[in-house]
A and B are shown apart, each in its own frame.
Chain A
Amino acid sequence: MAHLQELEALTKALSGLGIDEQSLISILGKSDPARRTTFRQRSTHFFIEDERSFERWDDHRINLLRLEFVRFENALVLWAMHPWERDARLVHEALTLVPQSYRVILEIACTRSSEELLGARRAYHSLYDHSIEEDVAIHVTGSERKLLVALVSAYRYEGPKVSEDAAKSEAKLIAKAIKNGDKKNPIDDDEVIRILTTRSKPHLKAIYKHYKEVSGKNINEDIEAADFILKETVECLCNPHAYFSKVVDEAIRNDADHNTKKALTRVIVTRADVDLKGIKEEYNSLYGVPLTPKIDDNVNGNYKDLLLALMTRD
């Protein structure tokens, strides 16, 4: 029976995010050849029966495992980095993975303060000898280019002063563009782009508020049908905690793909010094369960310990 428990423990140690190094050492490390054979024979998702009568590692599995082993290292390296370098590297990496990674670019452009974004742009110069907008413009095409280049170039006013009249009329403009969505994609509307990429965040929050009065629905409900990138842009700008909660939840799910999983490290590490507390509260209110125990359950090993350390620092 100890065998069965050990097998389960090993399977768990190798599943989910990160690797449970301690369990692997204490169980597999201490195992004799017979135990290991049993492990290979029973772990059919890791090993395949070779035609020459031995159990062979599934190569695809090895590659996936490598990614899990390295999750801790990547998180630590990212954590130690200066925030500017962090953001610059994240954008640069995202540009090699477009278009699946558009989200990373707009996340960084929209959730950082004006000075933080500026810092990232400086670091980008140092690291890559190009400006961030230069590289975004080259790697992103179509309608998304206009949006993303403008988002990374913005230096938004950060004061509280908002013109309610302008916010009201701009809410109307956006509502009209969304309503026209079947004829023209709102992301191609110059006014939508202008508003989202130049207005201050307090101003945009005022627009968010007025939108409901103008259109009857919340802007993120209306925009749902329109354009995924636009929706995430609005979310990042007006309700970042909800956005981050959603991204983290997707990363922990069983069916998450490689890029989606990477977001867990990205969000926890980049927000740990900023607003993790707010994100945890929003997560709880959105999903009905607290985030910290969820991480505890679904993440393994040193990687988990690092994330929990970042999350419980108050």
Chain B
Amino acid sequence: MATFVVPANVSIVEDAETLRKACEGWGTNEKAVISVLAHRNATQRKQIRQAYWDLYQEDLVKRLESELKGDFERAVYRWILEPQDRDAVLANVALKKSSDYHVIVEIACVRSAEELLAVRRAYQARYKHSLEEDVAAHTTGDVRKLLVGLVTTFRYEGAEINTRLAKSEANILQDAIKDKKFSNDEVIRILTTRSKTQLMATFNGFKDDQGTSITKALLGEPADNEFKRLLRIAIRCINEPLKYYEKILRNAIRKFGTDEDAITRVIVTRAEKDLLDIKELYYKRNSVPLDQAVAKETSGDYKAFLLALLGKQD
């Protein structure tokens, strides 16, 4: 469920005018920017961009890029883009830092098959390369095999489960883990081609059989290398995305020196999806409301923007 609040009566033209006024003259009226954008859904934001262009022959996004700064600017920029365009930008940025490849796994595994397709289209439109082209060029070996497989799959989205298959593939995974051959072709085949429902049945079968979840089973020796890390993230994103996001937030907020990129990413990408559920999970796990934790670790307009997305009404 979405978290931010959209007022009952919205005038797109007025919004465009408000934003124009906020950007005119010296400095920017950040509060006005937040009061509009943080309270509009994706369709409305798209309409506002269009109206702004129609009225002022200027790209609202470019204008905001030049007016705003820092974490606040990054958050607003990502928020105002359409979801598939946003994911394309996130993927492209993530490719530049090898420690950020989990963002690509996130996008590939949490989005639906159609959403991932839209991301691939948006990526091509923006960067004149296919997503898989760039992922493959920036990675090598097993990590490449896994990531390219994850971003190119167009998973069947039906609810059918083949129990026998789930059992046999759970065994294949178990054997791979036992033999410490985590990156063998079969593991990658299963993870990168099977439907999500089938995979969840496989992971459940694994748990029933082995008494421990597959992600826990993957924790043993050897210590996490990059491939193993991404493999576990892929499994968690497919199996329990809410818990995955809660953990990302928990780590981002707890870490010495807050990870604003991670906080922005989770809040902005999930605000229209399941941020409410993530908030509940966060509270259950940490006994502190997410809003409070975010408010403690962030400041200024960036903080105000995040809190608005989290549901705060002015």
Q: Do A and B come from one complex?
A: yes
Q: Contact residues of A with B, CB < 8 Å?
A: 118, 121-122, 125, 129-134, 137-138, 145-146, 149-150, 153-159, 161, 190, 194, 197-200
Chain B residues closer than 8 Å to A121, beta-carbon distance:
154
- A64–B189 Cα distance when bound, in Å, is 38
Give 23 pairs: A residue, B residue, CB < 8 Å, sorted on A: A125-B154, A125-B156, A131-B153, A131-B155, A132-B154, A133-B153, A133-B154, A134-B194, A137-B193, A146-B145, A150-B148, A153-B154, A154-B130, A154-B152, A155-B117, A156-B130, A157-B124, A157-B129, A157-B133, A159-B124, A190-B141, A198-B133, A200-B133
Closest CB-CB distance, A108 to chain B, in whole Å? 15
Chain A residues closer than 8 Å to B155, beta-carbon distance:
131, 134
Interface residues in B92-137 (C-beta closer than 8 Å to A): 117, 120-121, 124, 128-133, 136-137
Closest CB-CB distance, A207 to chain B, in whole Å? 13
Q: Known contacts A154-B152, A157-B124: does B195 contact A200 (CB below 8 Å)?
A: no
Which of A131, A190, A199 is close to B156, meaning CB atoms less than 8 Å apart? Answer: A131
Asked if A153 and B156 sit within 8 Å, CB to CB, the answer is no
Interface residues in B122-180 (C-beta closer than 8 Å to A): 124, 128-133, 136-137, 140-141, 144-145, 148-149, 152-158, 160
Asked if B144 and A194 sit within 8 Å, CB to CB, the answer is yes
Q: Known contacts A118-B117, A131-B193, A149-B193: does B154 contact A157 (CB below 8 Å)?
A: no
Given known contacts A131-B154, A154-B152, what 12 new A-B pairs fall within 8 Å (CB)? A118-B154, A131-B195, A132-B154, A133-B152, A133-B153, A149-B189, A157-B124, A157-B128, A157-B133, A190-B144, A197-B132, A198-B132
Asked if A194 and B154 sit within 8 Å, CB to CB, the answer is no
Which of A137, A190, A198, A199 is close to B140, meaning CB atoms less than 8 Å apart? Answer: A190
- A132–B194 Cα distance when bound, in Å, is 10
Main secondary structure of the interface of B (DSSP, over half): helix
Closest CB-CB distance, A102 to chain B, in whole Å? 17
Closest CB-CB distance, B87 to chain A, in whole Å? 14
Chain A residues closer than 8 Å to B156, beta-carbon distance:
125, 129-131, 134
Asked if B193 and A155 sit within 8 Å, CB to CB, the answer is no
Asked if B195 and A161 sit within 8 Å, CB to CB, the answer is no
Asked if B130 and A198 sit within 8 Å, CB to CB, the answer is yes
B185's nearest neighbour on chain A, judged by CB, is A145
Chain A residues closer than 8 Å to B158, beta-carbon distance:
125, 129
Chain A residues closer than 8 Å to B189, beta-carbon distance:
137-138, 145, 149
- A9–B243 Cα distance when bound, in Å, is 75
Q: Which 8 A-B pairs have the closest CB atoms?
A: A153-B152, A134-B193, A198-B133, A194-B136, A137-B189, A131-B156, A157-B130, A133-B193
Asked if B132 and A155 sit within 8 Å, CB to CB, the answer is yes
A143's nearest neighbour on chain B, judged by CB, is B185
Closest CB-CB distance, B159 to chain A, in whole Å? 10
Asked if A200 and B130 sit within 8 Å, CB to CB, the answer is yes
Closest CB-CB distance, A203 to chain B, in whole Å? 9
- A150–B144 Cα distance when bound, in Å, is 12
Most buried by B among A125, A146, A198, A200: A198
Chain B residues closer than 8 Å to A200, beta-carbon distance:
129-130, 133
B139's nearest neighbour on chain A, judged by CB, is A194
- A153–B120 Cα distance when bound, in Å, is 12
Chain B residues closer than 8 Å to A129, beta-carbon distance:
156, 158, 160
Closest CB-CB distance, B207 to chain A, in whole Å? 22
B134's nearest neighbour on chain A, judged by CB, is A198
Which of A132, A146, A154 is close to B132, meaning CB atoms less than 8 Å apart? Answer: A154
B160's nearest neighbour on chain A, judged by CB, is A129
- A215–B171 Cα distance when bound, in Å, is 47
Chain A residues closer than 8 Å to B133, beta-carbon distance:
156-157, 198-200
- Per-residue 0/1 for B188-231: is the Cβ within 8 Å of any A Cβ (1 yes, 0 no)? 01001111000000000000000000000000000000000000
